[in-house]
Amino acid sequence: MTVVGYRRPAPGINPDNNSSAYASTRARAPRHPAIRIEHTLSEITGPHFETGGASAIDLTRGARGEALGERIIVTGRVLDDDGRAIAGALIETWQANAAGRYAHESDQHDAPLDPNFAGAGRIISDSDGAYRLVTIKPGAYPWRNHPNAWRPQHIHFSVFGTGFAARLITQMYFPGDPLLAIDPIFQSVADPDARARLVAALQMDVTVAEYALGYRFDIVLRGRDATPPQE
């Protein structure tokens, strides 16, 4: 069986796990280089999830009322690096609330929880690869990486494409955030153009008048040189 593997990311796109400015890497990053293997059926296949799931969700409507904070719209497409839409991709998001607090038992930040905002979403991209998330703009929050360390505002994204080799977890940031310049996680991406692609773009054609600012965030997964012939 001849397998057409996924293209390899260019250097500088994915962070080196040995990035000591991010303190948690120091005892967790492997010291041996990863061993390169050619892709087999094991790497090019991967799980699929329910089709027909919602491609547009709204996290701002809590059980007892509207979530607090600045309502925003985040929309985009899941694509491969040939620009082809990936339909039926599972996108999972999670984030802090407007005060910078996660609805998570181990988040110790002394900022209020919002009973109307859980901050976690599950979306299936539509036939055009598109998704749409209505949420609250997350607050910055402190962390213990170094004295007086603060994470820039961000939304976590987990995405499944068509093969396990293309599996991606990332974070989406906001334009103009001054914390980006000093965030060791964002700065772990060596290629400045790749860093810029993690920053959503404010778009007036996504923005809904009298309702919410709109941001565009496309997620581009690894593609392949050709799809294999049907045997």
Tokens of 224: 């392949």
Q: How far is the CB of 68 from another protein (least distance, A)?
A: 19
141 an active-site residue? Answer: yes
Query: Is residue 139 involved in binding another protein (CB under 8 A)?
Result: no
* Short-list 192, 169, 168, CA closest to 180: 192
| CA pair distance 135, 119, nearest whole angstrom | 8
39 an active-site residue? Answer: no
Q: 26-55: which residues touch another protein (CB under 8 A)?
A: 26-48
Longest CA–CA span in the chain (Å) reads 59
Q: How far is the CB of 147 from another protein (least distance, A)?
A: 19
Q: How far is the CB of 101 from another protein (least distance, A)?
A: 10
211 an active-site residue? Answer: no
Tell me the window of 54-62, 66-74, 188-196, 202-210 that interacts with another protein (CB under 8 A): 188-196
Paired sense of beta strands 130-136 and 56-58, if any: parallel
Nearer to another protein, 85 or 213 (CB): 85
**Position 177: which residue type?**
D
Among 25, 60, 116, 207, binds another protein (CB under 8 A): 25
Measured CA to CA in angstroms, residue 126 lies from 42, 62, 91, 143, 218 at distances of 26, 25, 11, 36, 13
104 an active-site residue? Answer: no
Nearer to another protein, 10 or 208 (CB): 10
Phi then psi dihedrals of residue 26, to 5 deg = -65, -40
Q: 72-91: which residues touch another protein (CB under 8 A)?
A: 79-83
Just list the catalytic residues.
Answer: 102, 141, 151, 154, 156
